Chain A
Amino acid sequence: MPATDPTPRKGFFTDTTVCIGCKACEVACKQWNQLPDDGFVFTGMSYDNTCHVGASTWRHVAFVERPIRLQGQTAGIGDFSWLFMSDVCKHCERAACLEACPTGAIIRTEFDSVYVQPDVCNGCGYCVAACPFGVIDRRKDDGRAWKCTLCYDRLKGDMQPACAKVCPTASITFGDQDELRSKAEQRLAELHGKGVTDAYLYGMDAENTPGTGRLNAFFLLVDRPEVYNLPPDPVVPTKKAHAAWQALAVAGLGMAAVALTAAFSVREASR
């Protein structure tokens, strides 16, 4: 139970309805963590030229620009709306990257966050293919896998992560899980009360994301997860791997039977 934990579980609650897309979180994250540049690329598809969280970008603000009206939207000209969402590593309860890591470089910290130890990672890239959210990535010129650390250094110094600290609208809230949950439920009730019935919480509990368990970084969204580039029903691949291991066991025994048949049948035939 969270209440009896020596160190309470920490995380983010990101309320996308108050995000203004200022990207201060992206900048603060880059600056505090001293992350390198990842190139000035003009995507030409939207105002979003960051596109994804990746090895050198641990916060990413999605800009969803659409020719539709949002629920309860009265302002603006014609059918047009923006949705913003600051995406980040979810620090899953069942973390695919951690379960896939063959070196033990990826660990669970005392804050319940998922942390990659750069001095251990040998850059095998398995976590990159395993993550159902497409968060962790390997930088080619560095060779190792990198992702959000939930500002492990700041947490150890009793400070909140840089992105939450800098967020001007409190779209990103950092805190103990229990606190965040009640805050999120309160906000959801408030929105529902105002008639924004589309609002829902993504990843707050295992009911919403049963495949990965509770997400330590969860979100308040107002449209389907796909709109924000989030998977609707993510699953840690390990949950499905037993079927593959079973198939492999049958295949291996089949090969043994064939090998024995081939070896012994020829011997008998030639005598």
Chain B
Amino acid sequence: MTRRYRDDPAAMQDGRNVNPGLGVLLGEGAQQQVKRVEEAFPAPGVTEVPPVHAVATAARPTYYGQPVLKAPVWIWTVPVYFYMEGLAGAAGALAGAVTLTGDEVLRPFVRRLRWVSVSCCAVSGGLLIADLGRPSRFLNMLRVFRPTSPMSMGAWMLAAISSFSGIAALLSDAPGALRRVGDAAGYAAAVVALPFTGYTAVLVNNTAVPVWQSTRRSLPFLFTASSMTSLSSLLQLTAHGAREQQIARRFGVAGRIAELVSSEAVERDARKVPEVARPLAEGRSGALWKAGKAMAVASLALSLLPARVKWARTASAVLGTAAALSTKLAVFQAGRVSSRNPHATFDMQRAGRGAAEVGHGSSNLVQLKVEGRLIPLDQAQGPTV
């Protein structure tokens, strides 16, 4: 029997050490599939030397500099999705506003915006499915409606806005009553678009990752504004009539200003705990963040030049797109870095920004170490200390 077991490569390689000829796989973890044994070694960075700032000291202990949290497992398609779904949302919202003017001259613009919205939704869906560990089960996203999960809310909003924008786009030039149906769908899409455009900020805010959780009051503004910049840049790059250009430009200038203001607010929120703000200042995420801000400034400056200066318009649009992508990538990457820094989690909670922020904090927080001993704070304030 031992020989046969040794000859069975599948049974040998998953490390379960269960001889299929003798045992059955019925355990709670028996379904877990293995391609490469090493894949499962938990949390990336375990075998790396922790960065200097993560190392433990007597005053700030860590477990050999190891992360407390698991790093997000999301791949590159997720930050690209942040950009794409933002485009879809902003296009849906602007299409609704332009439809409301009732101006027939702007009708082709409305149609184009609706198509931008629905095609970005389609790409978004693809990007999300590509990130799933089990892509064939993507429909399970609509299995429950769970308000505590921004991802569940996002899946429902994506389903709604793609349907509404799709109907609106198809019926843009339909005759009579059908066109009114299309417009109604367009307005519905615009309403859903308002929260949808920046909801991915809430999605990352609602995690244990320090830099994401700490920026929950500002990041939704940044993501919404950045999506407005993305859309106006896309519109400015493609040829339109003068009035359409003008609308896109005004929408974009407001978006760029809001983007710059809210990125400052994001930094201010993060800086309340220095370790939390670290990834926005250092490394690849810091470089992307700073590049995003610089390009947004340049894009804003160029978009303020007179509209007839074509090169400026194009340059502003290219920079605006790059700024939006760079900013969303930076936020994504900062979260990955932040989750691996144990001090970010510990410092934040010790500074009263854990549960203490939403009620009373843990009794662990009122412990002090005095001469190497753990002492409750109220006792430590006695005359002996």
Binding site for B on A (CB under 8 A): 32-39, 41-46, 48, 51-58, 62, 64, 68, 71, 96, 99-105, 118, 120-126, 128-146, 149, 151-153, 197-198, 200, 202, 207-212, 222-235, 237-241, 243-245, 247-256, 258-267, 269-270
In the complex, the answer to whether B131 meets A198 with C-beta atoms within 8 Å is no
- Residues on the B chain within 8 Å of A71, using CB: 372-373
Contact of B144 among A102, A128, A152 (CB under 8 A): A102
In the complex, the answer to whether B25 meets A34 with C-beta atoms within 8 Å is yes
How would residues 56 to 76 of chain B score, 1 for a CB under 8 Å from any chain A CB and 0 otherwise?
000011111111111011100
CA A37 to CA B150, docked complex, whole Å: 34
Chain A residue nearest to B92 (CB atoms) is A259
Contact of A249 among B132, B195, B358 (CB under 8 A): B195
- Residues on the A chain within 8 Å of B186, using CB: none
Is B33 part of the binding interface, using a Cβ–Cβ cutoff of 8 Å?
A: yes
In the complex, the answer to whether A223 meets B143 with C-beta atoms within 8 Å is no
In the complex, the answer to whether A56 meets B374 with C-beta atoms within 8 Å is no
Q: What 7 pairs across the A-B complex have the smallest Cβ distances?
A: A37-B15, A123-B133, A54-B42, A211-B355, A143-B133, A233-B354, A34-B27
Is B5 part of the binding interface, using a Cβ–Cβ cutoff of 8 Å?
A: no
Please report which residues of chain B, range 19-78, place their CB below 8 angstroms from some CB of chain A when the two chains form the complex.
Answer: 25-43, 46-47, 60-70, 72-74
In the complex, the answer to whether B26 meets A224 with C-beta atoms within 8 Å is no
Contact of A233 among B64, B106, B364 (CB under 8 A): B364
Binding site for A on B (CB under 8 A): 14-16, 18, 25-43, 46-47, 60-70, 72-74, 90, 93-94, 96-98, 100-101, 103, 106, 131-135, 137-138, 140-141, 143-144, 146, 148-152, 155, 190, 194-195, 197-199, 201-209, 212-213, 216-221, 223-225, 228, 243, 246-248, 250-251, 254-255, 258, 335, 339, 342, 345-346, 349-350, 352, 354-365, 367, 369, 372-374
| Given A41-B46, A62-B63, A134-B70: A247 in contact with B216 (beta carbons within 8 A) | yes
CA A48 to CA B357, docked complex, whole Å: 34
- Residues on the B chain within 8 Å of A239, using CB: 355, 358-359
In the complex, the answer to whether A41 meets B41 with C-beta atoms within 8 Å is yes
| Given A103-B144, A198-B373: A52 in contact with B43 (beta carbons within 8 A) | yes
CA A45 to CA B66, docked complex, whole Å: 10
In the complex, the answer to whether B14 meets A52 with C-beta atoms within 8 Å is no
In the complex, the answer to whether B134 meets A122 with C-beta atoms within 8 Å is yes
- Residues on the B chain within 8 Å of A252, using CB: 194-195, 197-198, 224
| Distance between B334 CB and nearest chain A CB, rounded to angstroms | 13
CA A239 to CA B131, docked complex, whole Å: 27
16 additional A-B pairs beyond A103-B144, A120-B140, beta carbons within 8 Å, are A33-B30, A36-B29, A42-B47, A134-B43, A211-B362, A226-B60, A226-B62, A226-B342, A233-B354, A233-B356, A233-B365, A239-B355, A247-B221, A254-B258, A255-B228, A263-B106
| Distance between B355 CB and nearest chain A CB, rounded to angstroms | 3
